[in-house]
C-alpha cells in the first residue's frame, strides 16, 4: 500500500519534470527576437480596450452550486457502490432512499429554476 503511493509520488515527479524538458528543448531550438509589438496581447490586431480581468458574469453560477451538492454525493455513492453486493438487501433499500433524495434535490433545483441558464 505505502509502496504503491511512494511509486505514485515518483511517477508524479517524473510527470512534472517531463514538460520542463520539452519547453527547454523548444527554448533552445527556437529563435529569440522579442520586441514590444510581439509581446502585446492578441486581440485581432488591435490594442485591448479596457481591463481584461473583470468581474466576469458566470451565467452558470447556480449550476455550480448544484454541482457541489452532487459532487459531494458522489463521494458517498462510490463506497456504497463498491459494497453494494456485499451489503445485501439493506444496501438496496438504502440505495432507493439515497437516489430518491438525489432525485428530489434535482427536482427542487429544477423547479426553483437553478437549472436555467441566466
Q: Scanning residues 19 to 48, which ones bind another protein (CB under 8 A)?
A: 19-20, 22-27, 29-34, 36, 38-46, 48
Q: Scanning residues 99 to 118, which ones bind another protein (CB under 8 A)?
A: 99, 102-103, 106, 110, 115, 117
101 Cβ contact list (under 8 Å, min separation 6): none
**CA 118 to each of CA 53, 57, 67, 76: distance values in angstroms, whole numbers, following the listed order:** 21, 10, 16, 30
State the minimum distance, in angstroms, from the CB of residue 90 to another protein.
11
From the list 102, 80, 79, 78, the residue with the least C-alpha distance to 90 is: 80
State the minimum distance, in angstroms, from the CB of residue 53 to another protein.
7
Residue 113 near residue 63, CB atoms below 8 Å: no
7 contributes a contact to another protein by CB under 8 A: yes
Q: Scanning residues 64 to 83, which ones bind another protein (CB under 8 A)?
A: 64, 66-67, 70-71, 74, 77-78, 81-83
Amino acid at each position: 500500500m505505502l509502496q504503491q503511493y511512494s511509486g505514485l509520488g515518483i511517477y508524479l515527479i517524473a510527470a512534472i519534470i517531463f514538460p520542463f524538458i520539452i519547453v527547454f528543448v523548444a527554448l533552445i531550438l527556437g529563435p529569440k527576437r522579442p520586441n514590444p509589438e510581439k509581446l502585446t496581447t492578441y486581440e485581432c490586431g488591435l490594442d485591448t480596450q479596457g481591463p481584461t480581468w473583470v468581474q466576469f458574469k458566470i451565467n452558470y453560477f447556480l449550476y455550480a452550486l448544484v454541482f457541489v451538492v452532487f459532487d459531494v454525493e458522489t463521494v458517498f455513492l462510490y463506497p456504497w457502490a463498491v459494497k453494494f453486493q456485499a451489503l445485501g438487501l439493506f444496501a438496496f433499500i438504502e440505495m432507493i432512499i439515497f437516489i430518491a433524495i438525489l432525485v428530489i434535490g434535482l427536482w427542487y433545483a429544477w423547479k426553483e429554476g437553478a437549472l436555467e441558464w441566466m
